[in-house]
Amino acid sequence: MAELSKEQIESVLADYTLPLFNTDPISGKMVKAIEIKDNLVRIELELGIPIDKIRHDIAEELKEKIKLHSPTDDVLVNIHSKIIPHAVQKNVSALKGVKNVIAVGSGKGGVGKSTVAVNLALALSEEGAKVGMMDADIYGPSLPTMLGCGGKAVSHDGKSLEPMEAHGIQFISMGNMLDSDDAPVIWRGPMAVSALQQLLNDTNWNDVDYLIIDLPPGTGDIQLTLCQNIPVTGAVIVTTPQDISLIDASKALKMFEKVDVTVLGIIENMSTHICSKCGHEEAIFGKGGAEAMSERYGVPLLGQIPLAIEVREGMDKGDPVVIADPESPITRAFIQIARHVAVEIAKKPKNFSAKMPKIVVENK
């Protein structure tokens, strides 16, 4: 017979703080089953984030803790991931084929927002999530170049678009609708907004856990249309440590708050510069800016990414650093940021709107 009771196992689990979650499996309601039979202890956990890279380590840590209390028992820990839709703004309809939408924004251009968005998407994919990307910069689409996948999108029925695919993620961009890379989009605001809505709603997204939307910089028509009409689970703000960047990033953060979009956190890009010759690291754009912004507004600092030549080279070649150099410190930083983003989403309430029936009252 097993030496431990179910209550004792629950006590062990309650004393174990899960990495990233800062809570234990019992308090987090992650324990789906505990079975004790013939000297075998079997535990089943369900986490609301992608866990391909951390599943084994968590299981081994829990095994060791339980074996300390019951060395004669065999211990089997099964951990699986279940990513569900989470709460969004009020009065917006669900996006077909998409569980969670993450908007990546910045107050100004030139802070590396698109680079961060692409590598964040790929990091989530590397963790085991099904990921999509939408390039919302109608006038300056860069996603096809950064992902190394040009060409025009395909429509099988003349009404909807099939998403492009690169590096294991689905994506769509205005760049995939144009005849050439240098063809300009000369549209007034309402036309650009209409094009954004069509790209987003008419794309056949295939069971996407996280759809990353790379917004253009600023707080204009496209950003407001997105927040008012698309179910956004949360927003990520990208900034550099520079004061002028932080001022504009604060404006973007306040815009999301005013339209009832949760700000998941801040990513500080170009936090330091790493010399490609000697490896010397220097804070050429200032230091501590994003940390101060995080404290001021009470939102998490999700991570810091240095300015390094290999990041720029990878984006120019369509071979982002997360794919090109999976063991690099910069890739590890993106992976850690992706985990923090997923955890912040998992903390949000479930979204039950898609399951609620629509009630129509007719006057006769």
Residue 2 confidence class, pLDDT cut points 50, 70, 90: very low
- Say whether pLDDT at 184 is over 70: no
In a domain, 352, yes or no: no
User: Residues 124, 230: one domain?
Assistant: yes
Share of the chain above pLDDT 70, in %: 92
pLDDT at 226 over 90: no
Mean pLDDT across the chain: 87
Q: Which tokens is 294 given?
A: 């995080």
Q: Over the stretch 229-268, which tens digit does the pLDDT of each residue have? A: 889 999 999 999 988 889 999 999 999 999 999 999 999 9
Q: Is 101 helix (H, G, I), strand (E, B) or coil?
A: strand
Residues 264 and 308 placed together within one structural domain of the fold: yes
Same domain assignment for residues 109 and 70? no
Residues 117, 41 share a domain: no
- Per the structure block, which two tokens stand in for 12? 């062990």
Q: Residue 65's domain spans which residues?
A: 6-81
Please report which confidence band the pLDDT of residue 228 belongs to, taking 50, 70 and 90 as the band edges: confident
Domain boundary among 21, 56, 81: 81
So what's the pLDDT on residue 187? 59
**253 part of a folded domain:** yes
DSSP string, 115-169: HHHHHHHHHHHHTT--EEEEE--SSS--HHHHHT--S--B-SSSS-BBPEEETTE
> Is residue 225 situated within a structural domain?
yes
Residue 323: give its domain's CATH number. 3.40.50.300
- Cα 55 to chain centroid distance, Å, stands at 19
CB 41 within 8 A of CB 75: yes
Q: What average pLDDT does range 64-73 have in this prediction? A: 82
* Token code pair at residue 254: 């306040």
Q: What is the pLDDT of residues 289-340, one digit of tens each?
A: 889 999 999 999 999 999 888 899 999 999 999 999 999 999 999 999 999 9
Range among 34-38, 216-220, 270-274, 298-302 with highest mean pLDDT value: 298-302
pLDDT of residue 199: 83
Measured between alpha carbons, how far is 151 from 176 in angstroms, rounded to an integer? 6
Residue 189: is its pLDDT beyond 80?
no
Buried-exposed string 84-102: b where 16+ CB fall within 10 A, e elsewhere: ebbbbbeebebbebbbbbb
216 or 80, which is more confident? 80
Alpha-helix runs per DSSP H in the chain: 6-14, 55-69, 113-126, 143-147, 189-201, 221-229, 243-258, 289-297, 309-317, 321-324, 329-346
Structure confidence at residue 37 (pLDDT): 86
Rounded to a whole number, what is the distance in angstroms from the first to the last CA of the chain? 70
Per-residue CA distances from 231 to 20, 23, 100, 193, 245 (Å): 26, 28, 8, 16, 27
Q: Taking a C-beta distance cutoff of 8 angstroms, is the pair 214, 115 a contact? A: no
193 & 323 share domain: yes
d(CA 146, CA 164) in angstroms, rounded, equals 13
Least confident piece of the model among 59-63, 109-113, 303-307: 109-113
- Do the domain assignments include residue 354? no
Is the pLDDT at 147 greater than 50? The verdict is yes
pTM (2 d.p.): 0.91
Same domain (yes/no): 206, 338 = yes
Find the range with the poorest average confidence among 63-67, 165-169, 180-184, 289-293.
Answer: 180-184
CATH code of the domain containing 29? 3.30.300.130
Identify the CA nearest to 265 among candidates 323, 344, 354, 211. Answer: 344
pLDDT at 1: 42
Q: 10 and 106 share a domain?
A: no
Q: 96-110, 146-160, 326-340: which range is least confident on average?
A: 146-160
Mark which of 81, 110, 131 sits at the end of a domain. 81
The pLDDT score that the predictor gives to residue 124 is: 98
Q: Are residues 116 and 259 in the same domain?
A: yes
Tell whether 224 and 299 lie within a shared domain: yes
Give pLDDT, residue 355.
53
Asked whether residue 52 falls in the same domain as residue 165, the answer is no
pLDDT at 363: 55
Q: Is residue 92 part of a domain?
A: no
What's the sign of the alpha-carbon dihedral 88, 94, 96, 99?
Answer: positive
**Domain assignment present for 281:** yes
Tell me the average pLDDT across 100-115: 90
Q: Mark residue 74 as left, alpha or beta (left: phi above 0; alpha: psi -120 to 50; beta: remaining).
A: beta
Look at the chain and report how many structural domains it folds into: 2
Residues 53 and 194 in one domain: no
Residue 364 lies in a domain: no
Tell me: do 176 and 283 sit in the same domain. Answer: yes
The percent of residues above 90 in pLDDT, for the chain, comes to 55
Q: Is residue 23 part of a domain?
A: yes
CA pair distance 112, 8, nearest whole angstrom = 50
Residue 70: predicted pLDDT: 77
Q: Which of 92, 104, 181 is nearest to 136 (CA)?
A: 104
Taking residues 349-354, what's their average pLDDT? 74
